[in-house]
């Protein structure tokens, strides 16, 4: 209000610029003068005049406003960055996420991606991440917000005529007990289990999202719901970023 009144030398014109009443401008200027212990304007009959103190202070004030505007511009430029940094489990990136990022990148050619491995968890305090994919129960971490990509659906995958008792194990496979079944192979993740099933080594039980990239010829059969779900997670403030909102919308739609 001080800046506007100083430029116009009128409380009325300052009020018009700021969409308030002239009385509101006058009250705020008087309050500012009381706080500073300095008179800023000489109230004339038809207009205002700046006091010498106000005249000397204005250049520094306006320089401060310009610096403030520049800092806001820098922050907005950062929010509008065309680089998305995402952490994701390796098998999920290979079997599902990578294909969707390629499609999103084709529709948004200015966007670039940096994908980091997230097999041992995600720490947003140690990594400059925009978004992460996790696999597990509902995220329960203070300050993080999550959105599920699926409902935890599981499927079995195998080549035709493979003995269903030949099981491929991996962390999270969640096979039900079966006296007639035997583990013929144990691997580190669902993506490797899918590859092993495609090679004819046995039957794998994997998340349905992972199996969406199953090679032609594999028999895919619903196998209930697991205890884990794929989640998109990020610190709550980051969900306000336009680029995060856009990729989350695209990925949830693709799922």
In this prediction, residue 15 has a pLDDT band, given cuts at 50, 70 and 90, of very high
Q: How far apart are CA 95 and CA 209, in angstroms?
A: 8
The Cα 190–Cα 172 span in angstroms is: 8
Q: What is the pLDDT of residues 212-243, one digit of tens each?
A: 989 899 999 999 998 899 999 998 888 888 88
Res 76 pLDDT > 70: no
The predicted structure's pLDDT at residue 127: 67
What region does 224 belong to: left with phi over 0, alpha with psi -120 to 50, or beta?
A: left
User: For 238, which DSSP code?
Assistant: G
- The Cβ of residue 223 has, within 10 Å, a number of other Cβ atoms equal to 21
Indicate the DSSP class of residue 110: T
In this predicted structure, the answer to whether residue 151 has a pLDDT above a threshold of 90 is yes
Residue range 138-149: average pLDDT?
Answer: 82
Position 29 scores a pLDDT of 94
pLDDT confidence tier of residue 14, bands split at 50, 70 and 90: very high
In the prediction, which pLDDT does 126 show? 65
Domains of the chain plus CATH, in order, are 2-78 (1.10.10.10), 83-149+229-254 (3.40.190.10), 153-225 (3.40.190.10)
State the pLDDT confidence band at 122, using cuts at 50, 70 and 90: confident
Nearest to 181 by CA among 152, 209, 158: 158
Alpha carbon separation from 142 to 23, 133, 134, 170 (Å, rounded) = 46, 17, 16, 30
Question: Distance between CA 132 and CA 113 in Å, rounded?
Answer: 13
Band of pLDDT at residue 40, cut at 50, 70 and 90: very high
Q: What is the mean pLDDT of the chain?
A: 90
Is the pLDDT confidence value at 78 over 70? no
């Amino acid at each position: 209000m001080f800046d506007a009144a100083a430029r116009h030398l009128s409380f009325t014109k300052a009020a018009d610029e700021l969409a308030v009443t002239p009385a509101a401008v006058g009250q705020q200027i008087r309050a500012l003068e009381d706080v500073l212990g300095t008179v800023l304007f000489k109230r004339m009959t038809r207009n205002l005049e700046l006091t010498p103190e106000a005249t000397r202070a204005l250049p520094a004030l306006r320089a401060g406003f310009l610096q403030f505007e520049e800092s806001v511009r820098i922050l907005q430029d950062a929010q509008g960055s065309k680089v998305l940094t995402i952490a994701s489990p390796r098998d999920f990136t290979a079997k599902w996420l990578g294909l969707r990022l390629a499609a999103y990148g084709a529709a948004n050619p200015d966007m670039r991606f940096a994908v980091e491995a997230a097999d041992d968890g995600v720490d947003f305090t140690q990594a400059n991440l925009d978004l992460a994919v996790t696999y597990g129960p509902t995220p329960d971490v203070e300050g993080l917000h999550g959105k599920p990509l699926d409902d935890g659906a599981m499927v079995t995958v195998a080549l035709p005529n493979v003995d269903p008792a030949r099981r491929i194990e991996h962390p999270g496979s969640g096979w039900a007990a079966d006296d007639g079944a035997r583990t013929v192979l144990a691997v580190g993740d669902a993506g490797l289990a899918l590859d092993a099933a495609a090679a004819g080594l046995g039957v794998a039980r994997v998340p349905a999202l992972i199996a969406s990239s199953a090679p032609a010829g594999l028999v895919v059969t619903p196998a209930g719901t697991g205890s884990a779900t794929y989640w998109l997670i990020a610190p709550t403030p980051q969900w306000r970023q336009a680029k995060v909102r856009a990729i989350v919308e695209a990925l949830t739609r693709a799922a």
